[in-house]
Amino acid sequence: MTAGRRLVTVLLAVIAPMGGLFGCTVNQSRVDRPDAIESLSSGIPLPGSGQPIWREATPRALLLGANGKDEIGILLSSRWFSPSGDMQTTAPDGSPVHWPPAVPVSVAADIEIRIPTQSHPTAVDVRLFQGALDDNGVPTSEPHAIACPDELSSPAVLETECRLKNDQDGALVRLTNSSAFPVIVLYAEWYVPVSSRPANARDNAVVSASWGFRTTEE
């Protein structure tokens, strides 16, 4: 296996949605939502936004660092509608990954990542890496994978390592006891109701993206 192909294979395993950790590609969805439950979908725009998720550009994700030192994460993969309504997939191509600068985080505080999209994600999960990155920007350690339940839909779960809060500013992912992991990969997906899908992509029920971040304990 060439170095470039190995790099693609490793990165696909890193950014694949959690439900497909074994043999899944970034084109597959972690959540299979039938159209019958469209009314419960987080792909529906927020009240007053009038903007379905597929009409938005692929969102950025921002790690909120200590003392206001924030950093936009690197987009590792995406599966999103183009302005013309076609499905476009972005995935690793074997090139080295240039990660953003490490963001200072406090040992005593939660790590927060903001996704400022007008539609709430249907599912979010993260992979935390305790080791360093190799020369190609690939994590050298095994991932610690955790799901991020919604705070409103899972009120009985008081303490978890990751929580998702949806508000008027989009989605806020809160990681607890995670400052020891210097590499974070965040994956999010949005279910798109049939009525909101472009004509060219009626069979594509989900759009998704994943971002990478680095942290350093302050």
Per-residue pLDDT reduced to its tens digit, 126-153: 999 998 899 999 999 999 999 998 876 5
Q: pLDDT band at residue 16, thresholds of 50, 70 and 90?
A: low
Domain ranges within the chain, ordered by starting residue = 3-217
Per-residue pLDDT tens digits for 154-208: 555 445 589 998 888 889 999 998 888 999 999 999 988 888 888 888 888 899 9
User: What's the CA gap between 29 and 14, in Å, rounded?
Assistant: 15
Give the end-to-end CA distance of the chain in Å, rounded to a whole number: 40
How many degrees, rounded to 5, is the angle at CA 178 between CA 177 and CA 183?
Answer: 175
50's CB contacts (< 8 A; 6+ apart) are none
pTM of this structure: 0.78
Strand residues in 20-143 grouped as ranges (E): 62-64, 71-72, 74-81, 87-90, 103-105, 111-115, 123-129
Q: At which residue do the structure tokens 């299979």 appear?
A: 32
Answer yes or no: are the C-beta atoms of 171 and 121 closer than 8 Å. Answer: yes
In Å, what is the CA distance from 69 to each residue of 3, 77, 100, 113, 117? 35, 24, 13, 12, 21
Chain mean pLDDT for the chain: 76
User: Tokens 């997906």 belong to which residue?
Assistant: 189
